[in-house]
Amino acid sequence: MSSRLNISKRMREVLSFIPCAIFPALITPMVFFHQGQSHFFLQKERLFALFVASFISYKTKNILITIVCGLLLLFVFSIL
């Protein structure tokens, strides 16, 4: 289909930002508007897991390690 459409270079550049905009739009409501169950983290265990996973992502630069550690942290924080 892209061979039929004539998309300008500027439009391709604009469209390249769509994945960067959708990712935070999906993550933000799940983290900030979720009413958690852990009183130890003031019902914000997802926020703490996000901070720790972001730090792990910054240090390791590995998406698989970040996802696994983030999920494990969320599980541990949820049962505290």
Contacts of 37 (CB under 8 A, 6+ apart): 43, 45, 78
Query: Sign of the C-alpha dihedral, residues 65, 66, 68, 73?
Result: positive
Is the pTM above the cut of 0.75? no
Q: 28-75: per-residue pLDDT in tens?
A: 777 777 776 666 666 778 888 889 999 999 999 998 999 999 899 988
pLDDT at 1 over 60: no
Confidence at residue 8, expressed as pLDDT on a 0 to 100 scale: 85
Among 49, 37, 51, residue whose Cα is nearest residue 80: 37
Confidence at residue 43, expressed as pLDDT on a 0 to 100 scale: 72
Q: Among the listed ranges 5-9, 21-25, 32-36, 43-47, which one has the minimum average pLDDT value? A: 32-36
> Look-up: residue for tokens 């926020």?
47
Any idea how long the chain is?
80
